[in-house]
Chain A
Amino acid sequence: MSPLLSVRDLKVSFDTEDGVVAAVSGVSYDVEAGKTLGIVGESGSGKTVGTLTIMGLTRAVNTKISGEALFDGKDLLTSSEQQMRSIRGDEIAMIFQDPLSSLHPFFTIGAQLVEAIQVHRNVSKAAARDRAAELLGMVGLSDPRSRLSSYPHEFSGGMRQRVMIAMALANDPRLLIADEPTTALDVTVQAQILELIADLQRQTGTAMIIITHDLGVVAEVADEIAVMYAGRIVEQASAADLFANPQHPYTRGLLASIPRLDRDRSIGLDPIAGRPPSMISPPGGCAFHPRCPRAFDRCSEELPQLEAVAGSSNHRVACLLEPAERSRKA
């Protein structure tokens, strides 16, 4: 079976006053129907720009886009704006980080949901309102019909994110892109939303891309994880594999540098030195080499390709180190 979404060598760069920002420089991944891909990275790693580009939301005169993003066999990158409009919000939907700023403050929840339905479905306003109320009930809001006439500011953060989810699911999308969906929420509310997303995904069979900086969140929801650094995927594996057997020094560094709730204080943190590179003039060779404790001469000259790790069919890493070297303590 061919994947639902297949991204090949996606490159996105912006012309800015300071120079050309290479936000995404050659990213490839597949999303299978009904599965969840987690994309992990820090700010500036290109994790958000990549998916916005697939949605056709970064098109502008100063943006250069190349590569291929086949959704159901159709290339989204070369589709016309009109074709993209009919896909956005219908077959592919998005949830964003901050639910307060992502909802229009002057329109009622009902109006925003009805609009989302009516763009793609030729139904009466009354029918759309019925569907909107049904959706609000589905995401766990009590008394959904009366909520339709509320404004976003009358809701709490968690409720707003539920509304965003309801809006995204309005037309039964086949792919849901969730960009940091819980980052702005309190931890107990985050737990509710993660649970809700997982439940709904089970019910609807929607495939999902979840973008986050939180390794805990991806560990919980993703089947497959791609770790991005400086516009490239540096490691990709099943969730279980990635956490059990991390290969790339960046992935290993991240895991060693975050404090864990299930670990005693006596286990010290081992931070990654330095800071993420500038995307205008990224370092040559492997972009991580200036921060990598295991870097050697070749790393600054040669760009490592994403290659399969021996003994694993779908664990791939972009690192020039010998496999045995990678897991040795620096």
Chain B
Amino acid sequence: MSGDPLVEVRDLEMHFPLTRGVVLQRQYGAVRAVDGVSFSVGRGETFGLVGESGCGKSTTGRLIMRLLEPTGGQVLFEGEDITHSGRRELAPLRRDAQMVFQDPYSSLNPRKTVGSIIAEPFIIHGLASSADERRREVRDLMDRVGLNPEHYNRYPHQFSGGQRQRIGVARAIALKPKLLVADEPVSALDVSIQAQIINLLQDLQSELGLTLIFIAHDLSVVRHMCDRIAVMYLGKIVELTASEICFTEPRHPYTGALLASVPIPDPSISSVGRRPVLKGDVPSPSAPPAGCRFHTRCPKAQALCSQQEPPLAEQVNGSMVACHFPLDQAEATALLPK
């Protein structure tokens, strides 16, 4: 990481209220989707947000994009506090930060041609004023993401899933953004297509100097893509570390369990003994367990874990880990594929 971070979040919170009543609404609880998350992302970096469903990774992405307004904490973009900025103040963010979504089927307007979908950002931001200029830009973009520019006038349904995701990427990079938030960009795609999109994102990142926030549940993909990783569980970061360290020296028992759970496409790598199957499912974020949120499923949990929430603290290997009893290297190694 060099210089100032591009994005920084401090104690970020998003509590969605649960209400009852129609006319007189009363709040009786909240889904703590994101509950005190802090990290920063440097320019040009690929930062991964990983976790299982309900961990708050997608919500965090939407908060950074300011598609949601946080209920607590701060979001800083290029040092500017945008936590509660209004529509007008967000205009530069809307150009400099773009998003790619999981579902390439539902995130494209089916009644618009691909050309006009990709041209939309230019029109919204009043760039590339003449139609000719726009068409040239769009064709360039299509070529760049590996679409045939001659298919300018086709509609999204005439494209396959992978091609539609390319359209989404083209639209996102149209304005040469500084930040790209990719929320599960490959998980809806066929296996043979995923690698195409992963490589495309990596190529674009190095060409355009993009900063990438990569949100995914697939740890293998995250390992392949990211420089640094935040592992989330029930709205909190449990481990924040460099990618290589995360996958070789996990310190949080949850990270370890995640790594041990991923099946490896190689029968010679035995899963036997590697896998301490975690008990149960993720608890509901509307009633997270007291103390460490992971203690109900943690194989190392002790009395302290249910009473006191562990802070994110730096370990010897440089990782930030929120755990009272982090894994030692022997325990970690036992969980990794060999």
Contacts and interface: CB of A to CB of B under 8 A. Distances in A.
Contacts of A187: 52, 217, 219, 258, 261-262
Interface of B: 52-53, 160, 162-163, 190-196, 198-199, 217, 219-221, 223-225, 243-244, 247, 257-269, 271, 275, 277-278, 280-282, 336-338
A259 B198 CA distance: 9
Interface in A170-228: 186-192, 194-195, 213-220
Contacts of A261: 219-220, 223, 247, 259, 262, 264, 337
9 contacts: A42-B190, A158-B280, A188-B277, A216-B264, A240-B267, A257-B195, A261-B223, A268-B199, A269-B198
A259 B224 contact: yes
Interface stretch (A79-87, A123-131, A271-279): A271-279
A188 B264 contact: no
Contact of B217 (A186, A192, A272): A186
Contacts of B338: 262
Interface in A263-314: 263-265, 268-273, 275-276
Contacts of A156: 281-282
Contacts of A255: 265
Nearest to A140: B279
A260 to B, nearest CB: 6
A253 B271 CA distance: 24
A10 interface: no
A18 B334 CA distance: 54
A219 B277 contact: no
| Count class of interface residues, chain A | 35 or more
Nearest to A215: B265
A253 B268 contact: no
Given A42-B190, A269-B224, A191 B261 contact: yes
Contacts of A257: 191-192, 194-195
A268 B217 CA distance: 20
A258 to B, nearest CB: 6
Given A219-B263, A239-B267, A272 B277 contact: no
B217 to A, nearest CB: 7
Nearest to A191: B261
Contacts, number: 142
Interface centre among A214, A220, A261, by most chain B C-beta atoms within 10 angstroms, is A261
A243 interface: yes
Interface string A42-78: 1100000000000000000000000000000000000
A191 B265 contact: no
Contact of A258 (B162, B220, B336): B220
Nearest to B284: A156
B195 A219 contact: no
Interface of A: 42-43, 156-159, 186-192, 194-195, 213-220, 239-240, 243-244, 253-255, 257-265, 268-273, 275-276
Contacts of A273: 196
B192 A272 contact: yes
A43 B190 contact: yes
B195 A270 contact: yes
A220 B163 contact: no
A188 B265 contact: no
B184 to A, nearest CB: 13
B223 A259 contact: yes
Contact of B278 (A188, A194, A214, A216): A188
Nearest to A276: B190
B264 A254 contact: no
Contacts of B278: 188, 191-192
Contacts of A217: 263
Contacts of A157: 53, 281
Nearest to A273: B196
Contact of A244 (B52, B194, B268, B277): B268
B309 to A, nearest CB: 21
Given A257-B192, A269-B195, A216 B262 contact: yes
A186 B53 contact: yes
